[in-house]
Homo-oligomer: A and B are copies of this chain.
Amino acid sequence: MSSARSRILDTATRLFYAEGIHTVGVDRVIAEATVAKATFYHHFKSKEDLVLAYLTTEYERQKALLGGAPGVGVERIEAILAKLAEVSVGPGFRGCPFLNAAAEYADPDHPVRHVVDDYRSWYRDLMRDSLKASGRPNADQKADLLLLVRDGIAVAGGLGDKDAVQAGVRTALAAV
């Protein structure tokens, strides 16, 4: 991974997450990453290419972060929920990058939406497998609920609603 490419991707990640995808132009990314325009288009064939790189990288990061959470079965779920609760009321939190991206890409067949769907499927499966590993009944239904509550916590946290975040965490813990 060349230095310029990672600088572009890091800058795009920061700006896209903090300010939204459509509101941030490639010129802005180029300027803040201090690269030349030709260098940008050397590494990414279009802005959409950069957006997809941003989201897939975020997907990999989440996989590593949550998949590497301590404990097994419901303990892992609890650890993940604790982390989510902490992060979602912390500074700089602006909701889930995937849900925010989905809100900006209305077409469900758009590649961006595929990444979002992949992430949510992966999360649901992680919950279901963890529940099954601890021998919990109705793992599928509970996984659906944990996914929906995760969505709700991310939304509420992004809007600065700490009370709702807390209510969500309580409910999720009660479900497992």
Contacts and interface: CB of A to CB of B under 8 A. Distances in A.
Given A23-B106, A95-B103, A167-B141, A152 B148 contact: yes
Interface in A135-176: 141-142, 144-145, 147-153, 155-156, 158-161, 163-168, 170-171, 175
B108 A103 contact: no
Contacts of A165: 148
Contact of A148 (B99, B106, B144, B168): B168
Contact of A144 (B151, B159, B164): B164
Looking at chain A's contact residues, is the secondary structure mostly helix, strand, loop, or mixed? helix
Most buried by B among A95, A113, A168: A168
Nearest to A143: B167
A104 interface: yes
Interface residues of A, number: 46
Contacts of A152: 148-152, 155
A150 B171 CA distance: 14
A95 B175 CA distance: 25
Most buried by B among A20, A124, A152: A152
A148 B167 contact: yes
Interface string A95-115: 100011011111010000100
